[in-house]
């Protein structure tokens, strides 16, 4: 038999076997876990937005203090007589 047929036979045997019992509180546990995951995702998203805002503010403060758009003064004397 080919490998594909072996997998089909294994799946067929699994489907023909008696199904295991599902825990009675499975739905409640799934709801709790889903709520925890949503809460965690929201908290992470808020933290990332806060970090982005802090980074933007830090950049704005740095840029206003150092003024990188101004040309630095010329510090070397001009070469004359060459």
Q: Which residue has the higher pLDDT, 74 or 25?
A: 25
Task: State pTM to two decimals.
Answer: 0.59
**What confidence score (pLDDT) does residue 29 get?**
96
Helix/strand/coil for 25 = coil
Among residues 59, 76, 78, the alpha carbon closest in space to that of 68 is found at 59
Q: What would the pLDDT profile of 11-65 be if each residue is shown by its tens digit?
A: 999 889 888 899 999 999 999 999 999 999 999 999 999 999 999 999 999 999 9
**What confidence score (pLDDT) does residue 1 get?**
57
Q: Which residue has the higher pLDDT, 74 or 60?
A: 60
Is the pLDDT assigned to residue 2 strictly greater than 90? no
What band does 80 get if pLDDT is binned at 50, 70 and 90? confident
CA dist 69 and 60 (Å) reads: 13
């Amino acid at each position: 038999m080919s490998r594909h047929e072996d997998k089909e036979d294994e799946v067929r045997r699994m489907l023909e076997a008696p199904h295991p019992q599902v825990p009675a509180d499975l739905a409640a546990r799934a709801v709790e876990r889903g709520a925890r995951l949503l809460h965690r995702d929201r908290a992470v998203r808020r933290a990332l937005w806060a970090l982005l805002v802090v980074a933007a503010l830090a950049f704005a403060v740095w840029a206003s203090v150092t003024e990188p758009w101004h040309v630095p003064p010329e510090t070397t004397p001009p070469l004359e007589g060459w």
